[in-house]
């Protein structure tokens, strides 16, 4: 039995609660992440995928639901010390490598901030040695530690962000669109680096992105989000080849691939969200490890659909 | 053969900066035919945007056109005065900018913004301009266009704003439409809609499109022909089929290999090592030399000329020289080559 590292149950994150402009950014989502795997979260802008990541690491206070990390309830952490320990275990890599690094700090100090806060190095030399080691790990020159962020390219800055996340030996890293701002050839470099680091340090990733083909490549399992709801969860092959939720199908049918023949025949499936249909739905397992957000009647329909797809 | 509507010949553009002269475009040559879509792909800094800005006459003040000409219907755009350019820009050649959030004026209603260039160019009344703007907004799929003519950009979603930007570019029925990463800021489902829209409009107007992007998936969807740019040069150009199924330049191989494919079984992506060269001092030989695992000795010393692969396909790599050793490209490329052979055989 594989160990579950993160469990999210019925998580709700509303903004402007009770006001006219209340937003249900994340609305009753349930999923879990196994230790050592990469869980991809995909969806369009506004689907709530980034909010989910931010709530899990407690940058937001959730409206409802439970987040359990490594057996501990994240929402009940109260003291400063508990929070500090939690955020040592859980780190984040942000989307925009231009905005997420303090322009007034030297790269060395940016990376060492977590080391300093947690008191992980006893002496100045130990601290700098650690930073140099980290810079090497992410493929940067240790001599670059004394430079400022603006002296680096986008791909290099993202490597700095990765080094900063690694500095405190985390178990779990939330990667919030870490490659969206990078050029194609640099994207591949960063994705390969993330995969290497995962193997070396036994890391678990929550990988948030809108680029489905990249998510499929890096993830073991994928969750599809739309309008704050998690609609389908399964192994990346389940979602890719046997995705049954109409929204998953629509999202898949919209990805352009570098293949003109495929593009000529690709048919886009349109998804219409019926907001009048408010029948109660929950995550239902339609096959082992393959969940769909559905009513009981829909569950049966989806199961038949899945069977048809598998028979093809 | 289709009519050539635009010819870019031996274009060379530099920028004067404090650090020195940046050679952004280094001898770029290409034609654009009537009714076709030419995609220009490359990384940031490869010169794709500078190329199109020079066609629009929108280069920054510190830009120096060192040599070359851009012939539009036979006359050189680079020699035109700003006043003459203003007659062409927006009317004959129009541009769709990348970021719909910043390319619209937040203080002006969208009806006015769409009608603006029509009123200027065709000297028609405001009322008539707005009427035509309405027609176009309907065409690009803005729901309830009558009511929304007086709305401001912030009242629209990202996808709708990009549709408005497209409407602005199309209002004078331009011969050439330059689309600079028109879908990069959008979600995939919205992207798909916008690409369909552009194709529809192109069919209706028979305009030519230069499509700039770094997303090869989008290129495969829209392009008739593809030019691959690297470090200020075109390194490979051909029909979409030739570039995707019979690529010859190692940089093109790298680009195609670094994108995951749906059938992809390999755990690792093929990543081009390193970063593009500094164009303050471009390398003596092939600019891709330092990142090229298939580099030959001569690449370090001499820039490769174009070698013809077919009448429509050429690539600037010494690997195509008759005396070059035969190399085995990455697996992903071999699969593509096999597909190309199959296609040729089935045609023969």
**What are B106-125's pLDDT values in tens digits?**
999 999 999 999 999 998 99
pLDDT for the residue A88: 94
* Tens of pLDDT, residues A54-83: 999 999 999 999 999 999 999 998 899 999
Confidence of residue A182 (pLDDT cuts 50, 70, 90): confident
Beta-bridged to residue A174, according to DSSP, are A92, A206
Q: Is the pLDDT of residue B264 over 60?
A: no
DSSP B65: E
pLDDT for the residue B262: 55
Q: Report CB contact under 8 Å: A213, B260.
A: yes
Distance CA B217, CA B206 (A): 23
Give the three-state DSSP class for B273: coil
Within a 10 A sphere around the Cβ of B192, how many other Cβ atoms?
A: 22
Q: Is the pLDDT of residue A179 over 90?
A: no
Out of A81-85, B6-10, B58-62, B266-270, least confident range: B266-270
B264 neighbourhood in chain A, CB within 8 Å: 217
Which member of A185, A217, A258 has the closest CB to residue B254? A185
Please provide the average confidence, as pLDDT, over all residues in chain B.
91
Once rounded to an integer, what is the mean pLDDT over residues A109-125? 94
Q: In what side-by-side order are the strands of the sheet with A290-294?
A: A90-93, A172-176, A204-209, A38-42, A221-226, A229-235, A290-294, A282-287
Cβ-based neighbours of A94, under 8 Å, separated by 6 or more: A100, A161, A176, A178
Q: Report CB contact under 8 Å: A186, B43.
A: yes
Residue found under tokens 């639901």: A65
pLDDT for the residue B267: 74
Dihedral through CA B211, CA B216, CA B218, CA B224, nearest 10?
A: 60
pLDDT for the residue A275: 76
Hey, what are A210's tokens? 């809108």
Q: Report CB contact under 8 Å: A255, B267.
A: no
Once rounded to an integer, what is the mean pLDDT over residues B56-72? 93
CB pairs under 8 A between A and B: 109
* Tens of pLDDT, residues B13-37: 999 999 899 999 999 999 999 999 9
Interface of A with B in 158-187 (CB under 8 A): 183-187
pLDDT for the residue A9: 95
Q: Is the pLDDT of residue A1 over 90?
A: no
Distance in Å, alpha carbon of A58 to nearest chain B alpha carbon: 27
Once rounded to an integer, what is the mean pLDDT over residues A231-243? 94
Confidence of residue B265 (pLDDT cuts 50, 70, 90): low
* Tens of pLDDT, residues A288-309: 999 999 999 999 999 999 999 9
pLDDT for the residue B140: 87
B43 neighbourhood in chain A, CB within 8 Å: 183-186
Which member of B192, B195, B258 has the closest CB to residue A188? B258
Q: Report CB contact under 8 Å: A256, B215.
A: yes
Check if B4-223 and B228-347 are the same fold: yes
pLDDT for the residue B263: 62
A96 touches chain B (CB under 8 A): no
DSSP B256: H
Once rounded to an integer, what is the mean pLDDT over residues B90-110? 89
Give the homologous superfamily in CATH for domain B228-347: P-loop containing nucleotide triphosphate hydrolases (3.40.50.300)
Q: Report CB contact under 8 Å: A44, B189.
A: yes
Q: Which residues of B302-331 are buried (b: 16+ CB within 10 A; e: fewer)?
A: ebbeebebeeebbbbbbbbeeeeeeeebbe
Q: Name the closest residue on chain B to residue A44, using Cα atoms.
A: B187
* Protein fold of B4-223: Rossmann fold (3.40.50)
Distance CA B248, CA B250 (A): 6
pLDDT for the residue B99: 78
Q: Report CB contact under 8 Å: A256, B240.
A: no
Hey, what are B71's tokens? 């012939």
* Tens of pLDDT, residues B193-217: 889 888 988 998 899 999 999 889 9
pLDDT for the residue B1: 59
DSSP string, B287-348: TTGGG-TT--HHHHHS----EEEETTEEE--GGGSTTSPP-PPPHHHHHHHHHHHHHHHHH-
pLDDT for the residue B159: 83
The H-or-E segment that residue B41 falls in is strand B37-41
A189 neighbourhood in chain B, CB within 8 Å: 271-273
Q: Name the closest residue on chain A to residue B251, using Cα atoms.
A: A185
Q: Report CB contact under 8 Å: A45, B187.
A: yes
Distance CA A257, CA B116 (A): 37
Distance in Å, alpha carbon of B220 to nearest chain A alpha carbon: 5
Q: Report CB contact under 8 Å: B220, A257.
A: yes
Confidence of residue A226 (pLDDT cuts 50, 70, 90): very high
A255 neighbourhood in chain B, CB within 8 Å: 188, 217
3-state secondary structure chain A: CCCEEEEEEEEEEEECCCCCCCEEEEEEEEEEEECCCEEEEECCCCCCHHHHHHHHCCCCCCCEEEEEECCEEHHHCCCHHHHHHHHHHEEEECCCCCCCCCCCCCHHHHHHHHHHHCCCCCCHHHHHHHHHHHHHHCCCCHHHHHCCHHHCCHHHHHHHHHHHHHCCCCCEEEEECCCCCCCHHHHHHHHHHHHHHHHHHCCEEEEEECCHHHHHHHCCEEEEEECCEEEEEEEHHHHHHHCCCHHHHHHHHCCCCCCHHHHHHCCCCCCCCCCCCCCCCEEEEEECCEEEEECHHHHHHHHHHHHHHHHC
Distance in Å, alpha carbon of A174 to nearest chain B alpha carbon: 21
Q: Report CB contact under 8 Å: B214, A186.
A: no
A290-294 vs A229-235, strand pairing mode? antiparallel
A265 touches chain B (CB under 8 A): no
- Please give the radius of gyration of chain A, using alpha carbons only, rounded to the nearest integer: 21
Please provide the average confidence, as pLDDT, over all residues in chain A.
92
Which member of A192, A217, A268 has the closest CB to residue B271? A192
A210 neighbourhood in chain B, CB within 8 Å: 187-188
Q: Report CB contact under 8 Å: A192, B269.
A: yes
A263 neighbourhood in chain B, CB within 8 Å: 217, 220-221
A192 touches chain B (CB under 8 A): yes
B contact test, residue of A183, A197, A212, A218 with most B CBs within 10 A: A183
Which member of A189, A216, A256 has the closest CB to residue B260? A216
Which member of B187, B244, B260 has the closest CB to residue A260? B244
A228: left (phi over 0), alpha (psi -120 to 50) or beta: left
**% of residues, chain A, pLDDT over 70:** 100
Q: Report CB contact under 8 Å: A271, B189.
A: yes
Confidence of residue B266 (pLDDT cuts 50, 70, 90): low
Q: Name the closest residue on chain A to residue B265, using Cα atoms.
A: A217
Within a 10 A sphere around the Cβ of B166, how many other Cβ atoms?
A: 26
pLDDT for the residue A186: 84
ipTM for the complex?
Answer: 0.83
Q: Is the pLDDT of residue A29 over 70?
A: yes
Q: Is the pLDDT of residue A137 over 70?
A: yes
Structural domains in chain A, sorted by start? 4-311 (3.40.50.300)
| Segments making up each domain of chain B, as ranges | 4-223, 228-347
């Amino acid at each position: 039995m594989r160990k579950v590292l993160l469990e999210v149950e019925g998580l709700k994150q509303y903004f402007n609660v009770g006001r006219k402009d209340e937003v249900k950014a994340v609305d009753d989502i349930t999923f879990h992440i196994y230790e050592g795997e990469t869980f991809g979260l995909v969806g369009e802008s506004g689907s709530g995928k980034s909010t989910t990541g931010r709530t899990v690491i407690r940058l937001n206070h959730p409206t409802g639901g439970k987040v359990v990390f490594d057996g501990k309830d994240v929402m009940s952490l109260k003291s400063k010390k508990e929070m500090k320990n939690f955020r040592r275990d859980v780190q984040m890599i942000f989307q925009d490598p231009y905005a997420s690094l303090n322009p007034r700090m030297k790269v060395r100090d940016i990376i060492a901030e977590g080391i300093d806060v947690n008191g992980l190095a006893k002496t100045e030399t130990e601290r700098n040695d650690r930073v140099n080691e980290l810079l090497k790990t992410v493929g940067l020159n240790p001599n670059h530690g004394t430079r400022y962020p603006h002296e680096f390219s986008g791909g290099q800055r993202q490597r700095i962000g990765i080094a900063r996340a690694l500095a405190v030996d985390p178990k779990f890293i939330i990667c919030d669109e870490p490659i969206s701002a990078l050029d194609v050839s640099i994207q591949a470099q960063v994705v390969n680096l993330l995969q290497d680091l995962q193997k070396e340090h036994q890391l678990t990733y929550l990988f948030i992105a809108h680029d489905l083909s990249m998510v499929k490549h890096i993830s073991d399992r994928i969750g599809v989000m739309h309008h704050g709801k998690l609609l389908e969860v399964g192994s990346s092959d389940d979602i890719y080849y046997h995705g049954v939720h109409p929204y998953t199908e629509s999202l898949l049918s919209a990805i352009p691939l570098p293949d003109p023949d495929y593009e000529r025949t690709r048919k886009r499936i349109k998804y219409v969200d019926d907001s009048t249909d408010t029948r109660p739905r929950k995550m239902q397992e339609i096959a082992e490890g393959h969940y769909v957000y559905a009513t009981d009647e829909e569950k049966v329909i989806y199961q038949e659909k899945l069977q048809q797809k598998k028979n093809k | 053969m289709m009519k050539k509507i635009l010819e870019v010949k031996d274009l060379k553009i530099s920028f004067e900066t404090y650090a020195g002269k940046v050679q952004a475009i280094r001898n770029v040559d290409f034609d654009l035919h009537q009714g076709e879509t030419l995609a220009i792909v490359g990384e940031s800094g490869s010169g794709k945007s500078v190329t199109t800005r020079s066609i629009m006459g929108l280069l920054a003040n510190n830009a120096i056109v060192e040599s070359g000409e851009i012939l539009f219907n036979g006359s050189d755009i680079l020699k035109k005065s700003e006043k003459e350019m203003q007659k062409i820009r927006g009317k004959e050649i129009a541009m769709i900018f990348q970021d719909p959030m910043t390319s619209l004026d937040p203080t002006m209603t969208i009806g006015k913004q769409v009608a603006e260039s029509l009123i200027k160019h065709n000297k028609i009344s405001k009322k008539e301009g707005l009427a035509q703007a309405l027609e176009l907004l309907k065409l690009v799929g803005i729901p309830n266009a009558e009511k929304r003519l007086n709305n401001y950009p912030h009242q629209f979603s990202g996808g709708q704003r990009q549709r408005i930007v497209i409407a602005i570019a199309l209002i004078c029925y331009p011969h050439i439409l330059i689309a600079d990463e028109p879908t990069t800021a959008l979600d995939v489902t919205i992207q798909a809609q916008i690409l369909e829209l552009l194709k529809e409009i192109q069919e209706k107007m028979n305009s030519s499109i230069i499509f700039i992007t770094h997303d090869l998936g989008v290129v495969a969807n829209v392009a008739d022909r593809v030019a691959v740019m690297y470090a200020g040069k075109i390194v490979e150009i051909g029909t979409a089929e030739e570039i995707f199924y019979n690529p010859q330049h190692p940089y093109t191989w790298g680009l195609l290999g670094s994108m995951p494919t749906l059938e992809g079984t390999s755990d690792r992506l093929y990543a081009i090592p390193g970063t593009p060269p500094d164009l303050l001092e471009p390398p003596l030989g092939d600019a891709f030399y330092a990142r090229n695992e298939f580099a030959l000795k001569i690449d370090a010393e001499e820039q490769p000329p174009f070698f013809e692969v077919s009448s429509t396909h050429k690539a600037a790599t010494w690997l195509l020289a008759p005396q070059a050793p035969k190399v085995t490209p990455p697996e992903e490329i071999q699969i593509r080559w096999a597909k190309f052979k199959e296609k040729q055989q089935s045609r023969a």
